[in-house]
Amino acid sequence: MAARRLGQAHLGARHLPASGLLGVRWLEEAANAGDSEARYLHARLGRGVSVNEPDGERARRHLEQAAAAGHGRARFLLACHLLDRESGPREAERAFVLARSAAANGIPEAWVLLGLCRATAKGAAGDPREAFLAFVRAAAGGNRDGMRLLS
């Protein structure tokens, strides 16, 4: 946990030129030691969410490990990753299962993803009623995309 905190501190320190790289290294050390939150954060960096982009394969592995450990946001991010690329039916089904798990863990964005899966019949049977209900749950959780999709 200390390595993760050091990584987060370095990534937050924009005034130090080498700080971002050190932050990524500390996060990677924590991730390799089994810290699920560090694995999730490292994977986010690998998806280009930050200015630092570590090796994508390693970030994907960390994301898979964090999701397997039950990290809700990691499951959501992995579901998005599986649906972002040209995925086959198996990956789409896995993305739906991951999104459902993330939604059950209180991630409102996952409800939007579930609704989109139901609306487009990607990863789950198409069901406009279930799509609408998922958007309602997302909006009830404060998600702006869920609110927008209801209007």
Q: Tell me: the pLDDT tens digits for 40-67? A: 776 766 654 433 344 566 777 778 888 9
pTM, to two decimals: 0.71
Which one is predicted more confidently, 60 or 129?
129
Contact assessment for residue 36 and residue 51, using Cβ atoms and an 8 Å cutoff:
no
CA distances from 123 to 3, 19, 23, 27, 93 (A): 37, 40, 36, 32, 4
Q: Which residue has the higher pLDDT, 145 or 43?
A: 145
Work out the percent of the chain whose per-residue pLDDT is above 70: 69
Which pLDDT does position 136 carry in this prediction?
Answer: 95
**CB proximity list for 125: less than 8 A, separation 6 or greater:** 118
Q: How far apart are CA 141 and CA 112, in angstroms?
A: 11
Q: How many residues does the chain have?
A: 151
User: What confidence score (pLDDT) does residue 132 get?
Assistant: 95
Mean of all residue pLDDT scores within the chain: 78
Residue 30, pLDDT score: 76
Query: How confident is the model over 61-77, as a mean pLDDT?
Result: 87
